[in-house]
Structure 1
């Protein structure tokens, strides 16, 4: 099987859509010998900040001498970014080999009535890969929700982290923050160690506390009140927390919040010291998350209101003197109105484009929403053309609204 064939097969499973439930992933993992039963996990759920939290923890564990698997989504440049060991992507050759093996297992259970989804297939492939590559720890980022997410097929986790919870995927997870938090907290099993932050949504925090009490688990709350900001810029933040100085290269106060959760989670792991934590945080690079790719180009794949508010704060604090032209493409199932309402008033102009994804919203519909917030509106269906044409004349370019857009422009 060639690399493109492997990707085509994996993406063909999209036709089964998103189907919450653990029956299919359990059947597939059983067919593969239950690789999930042989490893230690850190399990990360939440609406925003999961990828950053997962990546930082992976860097810290690797720095501590542990062979560490990292499972995240979405990818920005290469599909293989989603499955890493010690910060290295799975090779194309390994992806092909493991795809062939998991495909056979999927075909076997299909005869029993189990049709696996794309995410379930990738989860099983990653777990088999990590087991056979002898990982000491695996950091698993939840795909959607938590309780019925395929990553929750693991028997237990050394640490569960619940990052910021907000309204997103309401058609699947629930219409309130409490309902969504309940789904996220589904990763908390009996006698777990759980981490969240003091900035967590109050309603979500109450659900987290109830889940911790119900499962006889231990809750550690990262206290933002103990943070002293030393220096901050678009290129990162230096801060003191509980007497120790940390430096994150990621912009925005929300990234300090994510980092606090990481610090407290890492302190649960034996063999991890303060130096490991400091170095791991300092080395973390998050492509497509408020990333300054050039002096006058900022990219961010966040897509919901909370992401928009975080991006707005960064723009107001560090880019207030810039004339910004935004290149925006979004998915139709997102709350485009709330996102655009926060971003467009900060921009001099906007170019709407359409990411190469069946769920993408049309530039025309985005324009109808945008008219009340901004006057200079341009439409360009090709993301690459939209970006490069804008770059020719704009003082500062902001590419935002979807990771699919970031991938289309920069891959």
Structure 2
């Protein structure tokens, strides 16, 4: 039997109830009973397949730098569930979380909710809405969980923005079986009269679906190609960004950008498109915008998104867990470290399109691979089965470890054998990244460990 998470244990909640009855209707009733806490701040709703967390974190960082009180609800969490609910980049505390959960339990105990229950993610979402209402914020950056139309976050009353990152294939059979079906599901977060922003690199069919849904809802529709940017590589993986908007707002300038993944430039373009519209809406003076963007984004770290977690040896963590995410990871590695020897620790969930992801990983130059298993007993892909995909494509044996920590120790041991410093990359499910990241942060990395 799979282990329950801390929240599921604590509250006796099922971990997954997506599309089981009218979930959005239930959540709206719960929010109404609690006094509609989601109406006490403005919401920037982030949806997509890849790049949601990075985009949400960048927007929250800019708002905070502009002296707004900012709430952020993101998923999946890195570390503990308390990391997913933040006010001004400070995690909700365990006691604060428990206080909000008590209110939710009291509501669910009422006769009106007899025989109804919330899933773990739904309860977490309601906790976030209560917390941001009880500890007042101006804006909440709200990241969709699994999907769009039936996602718990779509129970909010209204949104100021719907921001769409790249939409591709993921959660097949739940959100849809094609990109068109998935995009249609995700487009349903667009609210009447809001402003809808899409990444410029969407597939053509996705772009048309979002544009059509926005028109139906009489929402303002803006593509991120209205912001032009160029990036020059600087020291310590930072980039100098020059940018200019071509539409109303017309922000322009230069700043330092600290997120190293190449794919972050696509997310940044979407964020700057949002910012161009935002400063026009709220009439923010732009004379110090360069300084504010450098302050907000030059030192920003997004956990698990091309995150350098160690420098001796160099270790990066990346949560690319679907074909598009892995392709973006490979592009970043090839741009930054094409000629360096690499050790790749890899593990996926069994419900992902892992075969095509492996094909992308095998295009990395000068790379060796270690296969392991994410820590999710219900959904983990058996390491032997994943190794067989590698072997079929390369005709070479792949080293296997059931434990992610054992895989990490082996990778660190291998770095001793080279003089030119192999880089360790951990790529795949967040259920793989979480135990490795926690181990490194709590115990450190002994370079001479074996």
Using the size of structure 1 for normalisation, the TM-score is 0.93
Superposition map of 1:84-163 within 5 A: 84-108=86-110, 111-163=113-165
Q: Deviations over 1:58-101 (max 9, x none)?
A: 11111111111000011111221100000110012211222222
Matches of 1:332 and 1:135, distance apart in 2: 39
- 1:14 is paired with a residue whose SS is coil
Change (3 A) 1:393 1:186: same
Cα distance in 2, alignment partners of residues 318 and 5 from structure 1: 38
Q: Which residue of 2 aligns with 1:50?
A: 52
3-state SS of 1:226 partner: strand
Aligned residue in 2 for 1:250: 259
Distance in 2 (CA, whole Å) between partners of 1:139 and 1:225 is 21
User: Which aligned pairs between 1:372-411 and structure 2 lie closer than 5 A?
Assistant: 372-374=392-394, 375-394=396-415, 395-411=422-438
Contact 2:108 2:114 in 1 (8 A): no
Q: What residue number does 1:8 align with? A: 9
- 1:26 maps to which residue? 28
Q: Does 1:361 align with 2:381?
A: yes
**Alignment partners' CA distance in 1, 2:351 and 2:86:** 29
In the other structure, the counterpart of 1:195 is: 197
| Alpha-carbon distance change, 17 to 201 in structure 1, aligned in 2, over 3 angstroms | closer
Structure 2: how far apart are the matches of 1:356 and 1:143? 19
Q: How many angstroms apart in 1 are the aligned matches of 2:324 and 2:192?
A: 31
Determine the structure 2 residue equivalent to 1:35.
37
Distance 1:260 1:56 in 2: 11
Are the counterparts in 2 of residues 54 and 139 from structure 1 also a CA contact under 8 Å?
A: yes
* 1:291 aligned partner: 307
Aligned CA distance change for structure 1 residues 257 and 31 (closer, same or farther; 3 Å):
same
1:123 CA drift (Å): 0.6
Deviation at 1:17, TM superposition (A): 5.8
* CA–CA separation in structure 1 for the residues paired with 2:192 and 2:269: 24
Q: 1:279 aligns with which of 256, 273, 295?
A: 295
Superposition RMSD on alpha carbons, in Å? 2.1
2:327 alignment counterpart: 309
Q: CA deviation at 1:252?
A: 3.0
Instruction: Classify 1:83/1:109 alpha carbon distance in 2 versus 1 (closer, same or farther; 3 Å).
Output: farther
CA gap of 1:106–1:9, structure 2 versus 1, over 3 A, is farther
Partner of 1:177: 179
Provide the C-alpha distance between the structure 1 equivalents of 2:256 and 2:30, rounded to a whole number of angstroms. 42
Normalising by structure 2, what TM-score? 0.85
Mean CA deviation greater in 17-26 or 205-214: 17-26
Deviation at 1:365, TM superposition (A): 0.7
- Deviation string for 1:25-64 (max 9, x for gaps)? 1122123222112221101111111101111111111111
Give the drift of 1:232.
5.7
Native 8 Å contact 1:233 1:251 kept in 2: no
1:323 Cα offset (Å): 1.9
Work out which of the two has the higher radius of gyration on C-alpha atoms and give 1 or 2. Answer: 2
- The 3-state SS of whatever aligns with 1:97 is helix
What is the DSSP-based 3-state SS (H/G/I as helix, E as strand, rest coil) of the residue aligned with 1:61?
A: helix
Cα separation, partners in 2 of 1:46 and 1:378, compared to 1, 3 Å: same
> Counterpart in 1 of 2:72?
70
CA contact (8 A) 1:16 1:115 kept: no
Which portions of structure 1, spanning 4 or more consecutive aligned residues, are displaced by more than 6 angstroms?
none
Deviation of the 1:364 alpha carbon: 0.9
Conserved? CA contact 2:227–2:269, under 8 Å: no
Contact 1:6 1:99 in 2 (8 A): no
- For 1:388 and 1:218, locate their aligned partners in 2 and report how far apart those are by CA, in whole Å: 51
SS at match of 1:372: helix
2:362 pairs with 344, 351, 361, which one?
Answer: 344
| Residue equivalent to 2:345 | 327
Structure 1, gaps ≥5 residues long: none
Residues 244/187 of structure 1: CA separation in 2 closer, same or farther (3 Å cut) = same
Residues paired across the two proteins, number = 408
Q: Which moved more, 1:39-48 or 1:190-199?
A: 190-199
Q: Provide the rounded CA distance (Å) in 2 between the counterparts of 1:104 and 1:344.
A: 52
